[in-house]
A and B are shown apart, each in its own frame.
Chain A
Amino acid sequence: MLDSLSQLYLPGAVTMWCALFFGLAAFYGYTRARHGDHDTLAFARRGYLFFTLSIVLGSLVLALCLMRRDFRIEYVYQYSGLDLPFHFQLAAFWAGQKGSFLIWLLFGVLLGVPLSRSAGRAEPTVMAVYILTLFGLLFILVRENPFVMLAETPVDGTGLNPLLQDDWMVIHPPVMFIGYAAGAIPFAFAAAAMWRRDTSTWVNRAFPWTLGGFLVLGTAILMGGYWAYKTLGWGGYWGWDPVENASLIPWLLGTVLIHGMYLERTKGRYRRANLVIACLLYLSVLYGTFLTRSGVLADFSVHSFVDLGISRFLLLWMGFFLFASLYLLVTRLSKVETNTNEDPLLSRGLGLVLSTVVVTVSAVLVTVGTSAPLLTRFQENPAQVGPEWYNKVHLPLAILVGLLLALIPFLTWKGTPASELLRKLVPSLGVALAITAVAAISGVEQPFHLLYVFLAGAALAANLQKVITMARAGGLANAGGYLAHVGVGIMLLGVLASSAYDQSAKVTLEQGVPRQVGDDLTLTFERYVPRQGREKEHMEVRVARDDGFTYLARPKFFLNDRSRQLMVNPDVKNTLLRDFYISPIQYEPGQPPGVDHRMQLGRGETTTAGDLTIRFVDFNLSDTGDPQLALADGGLVTLGADLEVRSGDGEAVSVTALYRFSSGGQVQTPPVELPGGGMIAMTGINPGVGKVQLDVAGIGSVPQKARLSLDVTRKPLIKMVWYGLYVVLAGGLLSTWKRYKTARLIDAKTA
């Protein structure tokens, strides 16, 4: 329902309505301009400009309200608070459903500006479809307006969820939403091409956009994995959680589309398939949004949102584009001319086709797995599948990917004879054998894992060889694809090593007592460090390896100020070959040696504490020296008290308690252990009447030391996962640049 006017913050709400108005105008203008009318085109462009401005303005209003902590506005009240530092106030923008739809829409309209410039003569149809994709988001925001006001103005907001108060919260979600927004672009090109019945050139213009979207989404996924691993303490970078999968599926389909576009650009193949894949890519974005935003997976996901009452609308949105895509594909596809070459077995064409099939199968499996709760809904009990299933079915796929990536660099379109291929593969196979040998020595035994390592190593080496050859010939700019595949090889190795060969141990440490963990690690819980300023309270744990390598781990265990939730941060130590991942499990502060008995005794007096009998015999000045001299130097003066302590009917034991003080007011009262447990300390002295104050603690029981329970995990080669992905993205960046230039070149020719 639309909220009544008085409940809305008008400066913000008006921008949403304006956006709707201008968006419709632009959509109308672009559909009318598709036959080449320049005036209508100018009208449509102006409409889009105002559409964009409205959304930018609306976002600025929301951001300003968050900055000003205007708690009249419900959204600000729900996600912000007085205690939030500046950058989290900004991040509160995308902490909730409404705001995250708004930022998605914001990036969507902004991307539309360069998109309209790059679409050339296809601009009217491409933009009409693109605006249609933005309407889904806009309708949600008009319906569920982020500018709803509260009846009364609260003094403080409820604050940002402590789990989200992390620096990654500032950057990860916006990048993710740029990636989602870019997912609509290949679809806009493809659908517009089918609408115009001219599917011959769309790929050329859509190619750099698809690569760019793939890059941004990949970066967002990398950041999310890093966040989960480093600070959330989830133990891993990937958990096959529905929300993670919702971003992975479009990314996998983006990978397929990139390769399909490559095939179309170079060999005129996949003309039909690319249209289908572009539609699927966008539909997967919508499906992922439906799964994670509608609340259907609420019981199955780490971070799915509760239902805002928009699930029906999300279904409608998805249904609309599903049927629109189906209609276009059914009516247009059969008329698309495509090359169907006869590929010999060992040819580049067949290799590429197979790669797209393998990645598509992966995307399908992830979709099916994520949908398990929906698929089983009508059975007895809804069910989900755990990470094991995903890992199991992806092992054969990863092996195939390794095989294909190792072969393709040396295959030609016409086909390469087996003997020649083998000869060219010799260096890579050598490297792969060496890597496999190292793996086998390091404890990899399972035959499938060895095969995986061998092929991933071969893929890495083969593509690296190709990159080097091309770079030497001065063609590094064209080697983006090979570079990306070097990264895939590195990643494959890192994923297997860090997830299948991690070693984990749980240990409980007593403060100050070293304990051995695993074969060669010794851990000592040194101390608990209280909060200092913005530095959270944490533990200091000394980690020492037998070979002398040592460091101080600082796992955190702290209470969030506002919610009193107990928060956990792991400590991660990167070394060349492995990460040491230390998560706190439990902290027992122990019994601080508090004062059990306090007594004042004059010289020669006797008293009892528990079953102890204590007599103050005399002062002991043997360590005192010249007090005047010591005080003048600022040093400590030591006074002693000779005591006679008897436990029950036992022998009397003599102990000397010490009291040290300086002129600066510094006092030390070192406790002395008593026979039969417990401590005694001289905590005060009254020289005038010759009395001492004694504190006795923990008699009859040993004082409990603080204990810290930890999970210590060694993750081998996890760095290769990150570095591999960096290399993939670097390769993608090179290719994006190259395809962007090609698209510009063809534009210049046709203009």
Chain B
Amino acid sequence: MKVKLGMITLILPVFLGACADMSVLEEVPAWERGSLARPEMAWEPDPMHAALRQHIYFSKEASSGAASAGGGGCGCN
């Protein structure tokens, strides 16, 4: 298969910036994780809308693939 790896570098710097945080990866004590438990910090704060959007983009664009195993296709692609 043909994977055009060259283009990845265009986007990666965004996440390298984020990863700079990880230079010292100490375990964060439980009592300091209050912010992480906030609902707006969830991977998907609105799971219903996220499912709909995923379905729309799956039907209207050529790409697919999220970190989940469920869900079916539709007669739209």
Whether both chains belong to one complex is answered with no
Chain B residues with CB under 8 Å of chain A are none
